[in-house]
Chains A and B, each alone.
Chain A
Amino acid sequence: MSAVFKREFKAYFTSPIGYIVLAIMFFFAGWFFTGFNLAGRNVSLTAVYSLMLYAFIIALPILTMRLMSDEKRQKTDQALLTAPVSLTGIVVGKYLAAMLLFLISLSITLVFAVVIAVQVTPDWSAILANFIGLYLLGGTIITIGLLISTLTESQLLACVGTVFVTACLMLMDMLSMSASGTFWSSVIGFLSLSQRYNDFAIGVISYNNIIFFISMQVLFLFLSVRVLDRKRWS
């Protein structure tokens, strides 16, 4: 697992992908921060965090598109799958590499907090809650992207597929608003990633939501392992 993790993390920086993801995340975060906090003379970072969801729709699929699809295209999966490593080890190693790069890209917001702290004391607990909430939500998208990446040999398809699924997840809330009060709105409300995130956005860290995000990630990682295993039998 650690070998896969190390290789995968390094590969983000031997290819342009790591830089592209960092650039997208930093660009949007910087833009929102300049607009709301610097120009708008606001000390709360909540708006920046909430808007970062939209940056995820572009950045995270790029982060995950290559993970498994490229192994298959280059046939390097033959080295991985014939080495004495479990499928879970391979998948988790890749997941952790993506999560580390994502953590680095999200950490730019902590720099903003420090910038604010020069003038006034920021609301650290709200920042912490937002950070954790976004990290968990992004992590869930990463596991979805990883799963989609196991399904195709094409990075482009993996990327487009993940963008599509992520955008649908974000748009689902709008549907639930128009159908409020019905059975469907409660189903959508339960599954909606951004509604789960809203609690974090107002500074509430609830176990409920943490467990939801973590179990979603475990589910998608498990499915990725199953897809890889299934391929050997077909």
Chain B
Amino acid sequence: MIEVQNLTKRYGAHYAVNNISFQVEEGEILGFLGPNGAGKSTTMNILTGYLSATDGRVRINGHDILEEPNLAKSSIGYLPEQPPLYLDMTVREYLDFMYDLKKCKLDRQQHIAEICRLVKIEDVYGRLIKNLSKGYRQRVGVAQALVGHPPVLILDEPTVGLDPNQIIEIRTLIKNLGKHHTVILSSHILPEIEAVCDRIVVINKGVIVADDTAADLSKRYSNDQRTLLRVSGPETDVLSLIARVPGVADATSLGEKEPGVFEYAIDPDGTTDFRKELFRRLAERNWPIMSLRSMEMSLEEIFIALTRENIPKSAKSVQRRDTASRGTDKKGGKSE
């Protein structure tokens, strides 16, 4: 449905988007995730034909965005980061205008009424957009994207500025839309992507750093999960003991959490399970374990790990592995 090949957008010496490729299948909801300034909006602007790429190609529904722009564009409903609303028009006039602009062939009255019902803007239908709240404006923006029933929807941060109830409504709406449309949804809000999307593409500094389902992403990274340990005993001695246990790659102290009890973060090296040996050695020295729990990486932590500049040690290995696995074998990260 959507094919992106080696897309590059360069501003002078700065690469806003650097050689990214991905595909979206029909009926899929793709989450496009990345910190602010990662190149999400630029990519979406290129997909919709608003900007031209420096290099690479985009095909929407089989039509190249540069060679057959009108055919490609008529298959897309686009909600940009800032909804393109004419403030001096009423919602009715605006949707009418978009209907004409997109050269829509469906029954005007019925089609627009259906969209208004879907995004719940019937009660502001006759009001000037200027006078609408942010939440309503956002919904009018979504409505505008739906005009003409395009097979592809590209939504750039659709829930920004909405209150929690509205966010849930919009998410449900997008999920439902995903049944009949192919959707690309960008966000820097993780739970949103996690809740709505079938697949996630993480982009940072113009480069794709991960492309997987949410479940696979966390499974892949929880492979070298950290373990948090609390031990009652002298900090430096315990730390050096932990570091000598077979199976431990690295241990750091996180400080005193309870009187006389320190917390340590342990990164396993993956060869053997260190927990039994750790228990035995600590018991020998009479330093009781107060708690021991594994720290499964949430999507949030994976995201931070993938996109942070000062990458902590454990995350670095994640990053390295990902870079290595990219290009050769996308899902083979575990085998490394």
Contacts and interface: CB of A to CB of B under 8 A. Distances in A.
Interface of A: 2-4, 6-7, 10-11, 14-15, 74-86, 232-234
B74 A74 contact: no
Contact of B86 (A6, A76, A82, A86): A76
Contacts of A2: 100
18 contacts: A3-B97, A3-B101, A4-B101, A7-B86, A14-B88, A74-B84, A74-B85, A74-B86, A75-B80, A78-B84, A80-B84, A80-B101, A81-B50, A82-B49, A82-B73, A84-B69, A84-B103, A85-B70
Contact of A86 (B70, B82, B87, B93): B70
Interface string B47-65: 0111110000000000000
Contact of B101 (A14, A83, A232): A83
Contacts of B89: 7, 11, 14
Interface residues of B, number: 30
B334 interface: no
Interface of B: 11, 45, 48-52, 69-71, 73-74, 76, 78, 80, 82, 84-89, 93, 97-98, 100-103, 144
Contact of B49 (A7, A10, A74, A81): A81
Nearest to B130: A14
Given A74-B86, A76-B86, A82 B100 contact: no
B86 A85 contact: no
A232 B70 contact: no
A232 B48 CA distance: 12
Contact of B74 (A80, A81, A84): A84
Contacts of B87: 74
Contact of A75 (B71, B73, B84): B84
Nearest to B90: A14
Given A3-B97, A3-B100, A6-B100, A82 B50 contact: yes
Given A82-B50, A233-B52, A76 B70 contact: no
A83 B97 CA distance: 11
Nearest to B154: A82
Nearest to B51: A232
Contacts of B144: 79
Contact of A83 (B82, B85, B102): B102
B134 to A, nearest CB: 15
Given A3-B100, A7-B97, A233-B52, A82 B76 contact: yes
Contacts of B69: 84
Contacts of B73: 82-84
Contact of A76 (B74, B85, B93, B100): B85
A189 B70 CA distance: 43
A84 B70 contact: yes
A79 B101 contact: yes
Nearest to A77: B84
Given A11-B86, A74-B86, A78-B84, A84 B102 contact: yes
Nearest to B85: A76
Nearest to A233: B52
A11 to B, nearest CB: 6
A137 to B, nearest CB: 30
Nearest to A234: B11
B98 to A, nearest CB: 7
Which among A11, A74, A78 has the highest number of chain B CB atoms within 10 Å? A78
B127 to A, nearest CB: 13
Contacts of A74: 84-87
B52 A232 contact: yes
A76 B100 CA distance: 15
A79 B85 CA distance: 8
Contacts of A84: 69-71, 73-74, 102-103
Contacts of B52: 232-233
